[in-house]
Chains A and B, each alone.
Chain A
Amino acid sequence: NAGVTQTPKFQVLKTGQSMTLQCAQDMNHEYMSWYRQDPGMGLRLIHYSVGAGITDQGEVPNGYNVSRSTTEDFPLRLLSAAPSQTSVYFCASSPKQGAGYGYTFGSGTRLTVV
């Protein structure tokens, strides 16, 4: 089925470990973004991309890196995991940024850092 695919669904990391959360979409969407969801905090934007080769920071970018080498993929990297990064992470995509397009979300990655 077409949509946004996130892997893995669950992950436990030790403090200081690194890992990459994968996100892929097959809808040829230009816009892709990463959010984290914490209890009582809603969805907070980490990084976003308006097209291949272009990325920018959201409101909570510290501790995360992204790249966008293709239209389809937008991986999120944690270089040195910290307990404060325990959260549920969502990738979302849209045909373009703005102009009334809603976002299509993946099913999320639940990350625990111990």
Chain B
Amino acid sequence: GQQLNQSPQSMFIQEGEDVSMNCTSSSIFNTWLWYKQDPGEGPVLLIALYKAGELTSNGRLTAQFGITRKDSFLNISASIPSDVGIYFCAGQRGAQKLVFGQGTRLTINP
């Protein structure tokens, strides 16, 4: 099935560092979503983007809807231990189902 290309697949960083990850697609999407999955839990919605070029923040998280509508970026500033987990991007077009990226696993060294 269709998948989004999410990178990097994993990241190992020091506490306090900034984090960047992105998602690309060969198809255009009308909505981009970013989820976080804590260990042993289901994914939880972090940020939703609905317009090309849109930049949205949620605390230390900032996400952008790419101007071409084929990509999206998530940045986390000043990482802390509770940021550990798997981050998923998801794209949606019209009435179709969400398409998920394969996830970025974030590990933080204190």
Contacts and interface: CB of A to CB of B under 8 A. Distances in A.
A97 B97 contact: yes
Interface string B84-99: 0000101011111110
Nearest to A3: B42
A48 interface: yes
A53 interface: no
Interface size class of A (residues with CB under 8 A): 20 to 34
Interface string B63-97: 00000000000000000000000001010111111
Contacts of A45: 1, 97
Interface size class of B (residues with CB under 8 A): 20 to 34
Contact of A100 (B3, B48, B88): B48
B43 A42 contact: no
Contact of A97 (B3, B41, B44, B95): B95
A1 B88 CA distance: 24
A98 B33 contact: no
Interface in B25-64: 30-31, 33, 35, 40-45, 48, 50
B37 to A, nearest CB: 8
